Amino acid sequence: MSEIDIRIEGRAGRITLTRPKALNALTWDMALAIERALEAWRDDDAVALVLIDGDGDKAFCAGGDIAELYRTGRAGDYDYGRRFWLDEYRMNARLARFPKPVVAFLHGFVMGGGVGVGCHVSHRVVCESSRMAMPECGIGLVPDVGGSLLLSRAPGRLGAYLGLTGDRMRPGDALHAGFADAFVPEDGWAALKAELCRTGRAAAIAEAAAPAPESPLAARQGWIDGCFGAGSVAAILEAVGEDEAATALRRGSPLSLACTLEMLRRHRAQDAGIEAALTLEYRFTARAMERGDFLEGVRAAIIDKDRTPVWRHAPGEVTPEEVAVMLAPLGADELNWEDKP
């Protein structure tokens, strides 16, 4: 089976991620294939909308395929990762700016790279099994693929909470946080997809939608705002006290946590758009292997699976100057929105 199935059905351009055994983790080739499909369908009058889904019952897309990034990075090849992220981010921006309706059916795990594919589009559908998260700080990255922008727009300080802890959103949480638009019970998905393909009417989603489930995170919004509105990771750690969030905060890379908090602050202050957010994310990810904790984070979580990463910093001890270095412009290597992948 190929990694991705791209075809036209009726009035819909269909993109199905077909790596269910790998939880549909996104590869470089898959990102480029999505980019090519969008370019082909942009001006094709036969395609009224685009429909994106994932094969299998466990995940829409549980993240990026980072094994090759780790292998090349350990060999000293940092350019491979930079080129992968550059092409992936351009694809994310194209999805966000696509002029026709794009419908993503977000079942099961939707994490990292899956958020980049499914959560910037115009119509984001969740169901009972949906579990969304941006857990990048746990492997020495920052919430990327445009995820930092979504986090910065979440109510109150919910984005800081989700970005720093990597906590998983249930369907009601995803709707509350602005990562999804409609809840449609999964037993109605096949009929809805068929209707979208037959008619090309994105309005069919609202007609099939059910009331939003309760959001546990919305119930904690006051506590989250009070704790995660603090100005630094150290202050947040002090504010959360013995709450389970403290354990999650101490698990993440201190450098990633501090940079994530600063990225969200900049996005809010500048009312950032998708390109600006991806540009800032790329400044970090382009440096993440050589100057950050990415390789150690992947080693501990994915390769050796010992869950005991040795970070470069102690919790809460990253200086503003170190954050500024990681997020500084890249000069000639800055993400270029003019070039084609």
Q: Active-site positions?
A: 64, 113, 136, 144
3-state helix/strand/coil string of the chain: CCCEEEEEECCEEEEEECCHHHCCCECHHHHHHHHHHHHHHCCCCCCCEEEEEECCCCEEECCECCHHHHHHHHCCCHHHHHHHHHHHHHHHHHHHHCCCCEEEEECEEEECHHHHHHCCCCEEEECCCCEEECCHHHHCCCCCCCHHHHHHCCCCCHHHHHHHHCCCECHHHHHHHCCCCEECCHHHHHHHHHHHHHHCCCHHHHHHCECCCCCHHHHCHHHHHHHHCCCCHHHHHHHHCCCHHHHHHHHCCHHHHHHHHHHHHHHHHHCCCHHHHHHHHHHHHHHHCCCCCHHHHHHHHHHCCCCCCCCCCCCCCCCHHHHHHHCCCCHHHCCCCCCCC
**Which amino acid does the sequence have at 117?**
V
Q: Which residues of 104-135 are buried (b: 16+ CB within 10 A; e: fewer)?
A: bbbbbbbbbbbbbbbbbbbbbbbbebbbbbbb
User: Please, what is the Cα angle at 89 between 151 and 72, to 5 degrees?
Assistant: 110
* Start-to-end CA span in the chain (Å): 25
d(CA 95, CA 179): 15
